[in-house]
């Protein structure tokens, strides 16, 4: 049964010490660290604000709300502040952070390019444009789903457009991708400006909210819409993970290994659009989460997508939770737009990535 | 190593192989391949030669199923290529493309593991680790297992890619210029490996530029020029001085190797 020739060089055939143990330990450390940090920050974040609530009291309120405790609240308004304002906002931060980070991971996988990100390539602004149309033309009155649906369709169309126009020979060049992003973002900005001009004062404010991004005013009804979209998309992403790994070899080689490239590609693009639009429709444009998080996670646990998708979901949730805490508390009595914060951090990070990509192996790939 | 005697392509010999018949590929107004017939037979190394732009890569893409011919047919084990489910096809034929770069910093071993992708939920899955180790040893990349592929040299990347293709364990191997970017010893290693695979019953198709490597290691050669087959046969039959000069536009002397007797092609300088 020896089909392969014997080792050509006996000395080098000895297997190197396997790093499996090291990487397993890293993986466990990362997932434990992220999960613990997520819980701690969620409890701390819920307690901070105009009404200061100690973490223990937050915990009690949580148990009370879930019917697991009947200890009375230490102060009036604690339960209502937590359950109507802070908890939904925290849950929204977690869901949207996970959605954006996983959308970035998926997009990078299917584009075979570490610089692809829904915000950078214009999917977010395309989705925001779709949402803005429904606002200005008063289509939102019917249901929460109208804005979400319009932003989904616009986001899907934008993803397809970017995908089709920036690829050649089964790969995406960085230059083409970034330039396509510039064009798409410019068009969407123009469209948003036009709608701002056309709209009345109320819709203008809403459009500005979309452009800057904010988790202010998150409600449970919205979470009821986002949560199923995000959770179902995550399940699909996990199912595709192994096949997405093979995209790193180029589409031809992936196909030679039995991957139905066209199908995986389409499903992934739809997932990117669903995740991005779930986020954009309710929180506006929050850029760079999908760029920063997967990149950092890859540095810790490597690029294999099964672990990466899970780590990115946790990391994105944590990043947005912390960013939202900063947005709420950095300036007293003011709520900063969270999209502004992520862009202030993400812009320089993107610049650094670009420089590194250009000077590193592979050049402008 | 001299070519194993070439019999006629009887139907019984073709069974199990990869056969293209009267394949023509045309895009826009250019015709890339014209009426090309080709057979990769189990147990044989079949070299595909020709100058740049002769259509070697196009033919390989047709054989791999990447490109649907404008006319003509391709069948694997007597079944049209288009009728093969992708995963089953991947268990039967493996392809080494010329593109060995990898996005993201996957380690060499992870890349070779990808070669096992067609085999989950089959009995062969149990062999994954053994196949991976074996393929990496055979291509002399075991010591690179933990290195990110992006940091490897061109030749090392090419060998890792070859290890991935070998780990796939498919009985039909299509190798597009596996020796490009390799040093002298590794070139010889790769073709010895191709020979060993053929000796074990695989059908091996290899695109080469080095006529002497083709002469030394292949059982049969198909010579392409501008999308047409100009010659097919044993190395000694195909590689004649007149034909090489006519196809490549370069005068050559063809002499017999003093020890092995295979043709040696020497450009007239």
ipTM given for this complex:
0.90
In terms of Cβ atoms closer than 10 Å to its own Cβ (0-12, 13-18, 19+), residue B68 is exposed
Nearest CA in chain B to A169: B99
Out of B110, B134, B142, closest to residue A12 by CB: B142
How far is Cα A223 from Cα B57, in angstroms, rounded to an integer? 53
Which residues of B are less than 8 Å from A15 in CB distance? 133, 142, 145
Residue A120 lies in a domain: yes
Point out which residues pair with B203 in neighbouring strands: B172
Out of B95, B103, B137, closest to residue A248 by CB: B103
List of residues 6+ apart from A114 with CB closer than 8 A: A108, A294, A295, A298, A353, A357, B103, B104
What pTM was computed for the model? 0.86
Rg, C-alpha atoms of chain A: 22
- Tally of CB atoms within 10 A around B218: 29
CA distance to partner chain B, nearest, from residue A213 (Å): 30
User: Is 70 exceeded by the pLDDT of residue B45?
Assistant: yes
Which residues of B are less than 8 Å from A8 in CB distance? 138-140, 189, 192
pLDDT for position B72: 95
CA distance to partner chain B, nearest, from residue A39 (Å): 31
- How many domains, in total, are found in chain A? 1
The answer to whether residues B20 and B62 touch, using CB atoms and an 8 Å cutoff, is yes
Which residues of A are less than 8 Å from B168 in CB distance? 257
DSSP B225: E
Per-residue pLDDT of chain A (365 residues; tens, 9 = 90+): 444 444 434 333 344 445 566 778 889 999 999 999 999 999 999 999 888 888 888 888 888 888 887 777 777 788 888 898 899 999 999 999 999 999 999 999 988 888 888 888 888 889 889 988 888 887 766 666 787 788 888 988 998 888 888 877 666 677 788 788 899 999 999 999 999 898 888 888 888 877 888 888 888 988 998 899 999 999 999 999 999 999 999 889 999 999 999 899 889 988 998 999 888 888 888 989 999 999 999 999 999 999 999 999 999 999 999 999 999 998 888 888 998 899 898 889 888 887 876 665 444 44
User: Best of A5, A169, A356 to disrupt the B interface by mutation (most B CBs within 10 Å)?
Assistant: A5
Nearest CA in chain A to B157: A249
**What phi and psi values does residue B218 have, to the nearest 5 degrees?**
-105, 155
pLDDT in tens, A29-53: 999 999 999 999 999 999 998 888 8
Strands B71-76 and B79-80, bridge-based pairing: antiparallel
How far lies A289's CA from each of A117, A184, A276, A280, B206, in Å? 8, 19, 11, 12, 46
Pick the closest to residue A281 from A120, A87, A100 (CA basis). Answer: A100
Q: What kind of architecture, by CATH, is found in domain B11-107+166-267?
A: 3-Layer(aba) Sandwich (3.40)
Q: What range defines the domain where residue A91 resides?
A: 31-65+73-358
Residue A23 lies in a domain: no
Q: Of residues B39 and A266, which shows the higher confidence score?
A: B39
pLDDT for position A143: 65
How far is Cα A330 from Cα A284, in angstroms, rounded to an integer? 20
Q: Is the CB of B105 less than 8 angstroms away from the CB of A248?
A: no
Pick the closest to residue B73 from B22, B9, B38 (CA basis). Answer: B22
Residue A158 lies in a domain: yes
Which residues of B are less than 8 Å from A2 in CB distance? 200
Q: Side by side, which strands form the sheet with B18-27? A: B30-40, B18-27, B71-76, B79-80
DSSP B102: -
Pick the closest to residue A256 from B94, B122, B113 (CA basis). Answer: B94
Looking up tokens 């970034």 gives: A178
How far is Cα B2 from Cα B15, in angstroms, rounded to an integer? 24
Residue A189 lies in a domain: yes
> What CATH number should be reported for the domain holding residue A332?
1.10.3470.10
Q: Is the CB of B107 less than 8 angstroms away from the CB of A302?
A: yes
């Amino acid at each position: 049964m020896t089909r392969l020739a014997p080792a050509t060089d006996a000395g080098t055939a000895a297997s190197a010490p396997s790093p499996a143990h090291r990487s397993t330990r890293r993986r466990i450390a990362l997932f434990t660290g992220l999960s613990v940090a997520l819980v701690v920050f969620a409890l701390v974040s819920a307690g901070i604000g105009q009404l200061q609530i100690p973490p223990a009291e937050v915990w009690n309120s949580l148990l009370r709300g879930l019917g697991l405790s009947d200890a009375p609240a230490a102060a009036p308004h604690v339960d209502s502040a937590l359950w109507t304002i802070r908890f939904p906002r925290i849950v929204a931060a977690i869901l949207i952070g996970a959605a954006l980070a996983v959308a970035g991971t998926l997009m990078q996988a299917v584009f075979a390019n570490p610089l692809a990100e829904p915000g950078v390539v214009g999917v977010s602004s395309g989705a925001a444009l779709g949402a803005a149309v429904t606002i200005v033309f008063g289509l939102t009155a019917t249901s929460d789903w109208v804005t979400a649906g319009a932003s989904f369709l616009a986001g899907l169309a934008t993803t397809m457009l970017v995908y089709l126009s920036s690829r050649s020979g089964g790969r995406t060049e960085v230059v083409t991708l970034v330039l396509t992003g510039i064009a798409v973002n410019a068009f969407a900005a123009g469209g948003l400006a036009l709608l701002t001009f056309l709209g009345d004062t109320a819709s203008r404010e809403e459009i500005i909210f979309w452009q800057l991004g904010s988790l202010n005013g998150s409600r449970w009804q919205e979470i009821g819409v986002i949560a199923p979209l995000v959770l179902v998309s995550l399940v699909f992403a996990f199912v595709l993970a192994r096949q997405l790994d093979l995209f790193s070899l180029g589409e031809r080689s992936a196909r030679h290994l039995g991957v139905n490239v066209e199908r995986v590609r389409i499903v992934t693009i739809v997932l990117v659009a669903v995740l991005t639009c779930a986020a954009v429709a309710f929180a506006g444009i929050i850029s760079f989460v999908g760029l920063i998080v997967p990149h950092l996670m890859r540095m810790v646990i490597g690029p294999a997508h099964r672990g990466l998708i899970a780590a990115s979901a946790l990391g994105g949730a944590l990043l947005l939770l912390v960013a939202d805490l900063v947005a709420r508390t950095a300036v007293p009595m003011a709520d900063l737009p969270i999209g502004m914060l992520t862009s202030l951090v993400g812009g320089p990070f993107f610049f650094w990535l670009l420089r590194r990509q250009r000077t590193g192996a592979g050049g402008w790939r | 190593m001299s070519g194993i005697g070439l019999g006629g392509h009887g139907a019984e010999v073709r069974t199990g192989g990869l056969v293209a018949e009267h394949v023509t590929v045309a895009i826009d107004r250019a015709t890339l391949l014209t009426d090309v017939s080709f057979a990769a037979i189990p147990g044989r190394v079949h070299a595909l030669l020709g100058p740049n732009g002769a259509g070697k890569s196009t033919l390989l893409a047709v054989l791999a199923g990447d490109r649907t011919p404008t006319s003509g047919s391709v069948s694997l084990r007597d079944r049209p290529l288009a009728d093969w489910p992708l995963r089953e096809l991947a268990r039967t034929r493996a392809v080494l493309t010329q593109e060995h770069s990898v996005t993201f910093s996957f380690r060499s071993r992870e890349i070779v593991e990808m070669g096992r992708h067609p085999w989950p939920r089959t009995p062969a899955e149990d062999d994954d680790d053994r196949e991976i180790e074996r393929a990496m040893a055979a291509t002399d990349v075991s010591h690179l297992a933990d290195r990110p592929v992006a940091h490897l040299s061109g030749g090392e990347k090419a060998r890792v890619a070859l290890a991935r293709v070998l780990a796939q364990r498919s009985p039909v191997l299509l190798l597009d210029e596996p020796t490009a970017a390799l040093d002298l010893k590794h070139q010889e290693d790769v073709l010895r490996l191709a020979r060993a695979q053929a000796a074990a019953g695989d059908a091996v198709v290899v695109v080469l530029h080095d006529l002497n490597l083709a002469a030394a290691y292949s059982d049969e050669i198909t010579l392409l020029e501008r999308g047409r087959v100009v010659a097919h046969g044993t190395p000694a039959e195909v590689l004649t001085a007149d034909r090489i000069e006519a196809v490549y536009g370069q005068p050559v002397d063809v002499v017999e190797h003093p020890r092995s007797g295979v043709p040696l092609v020497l450009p007239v300088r």
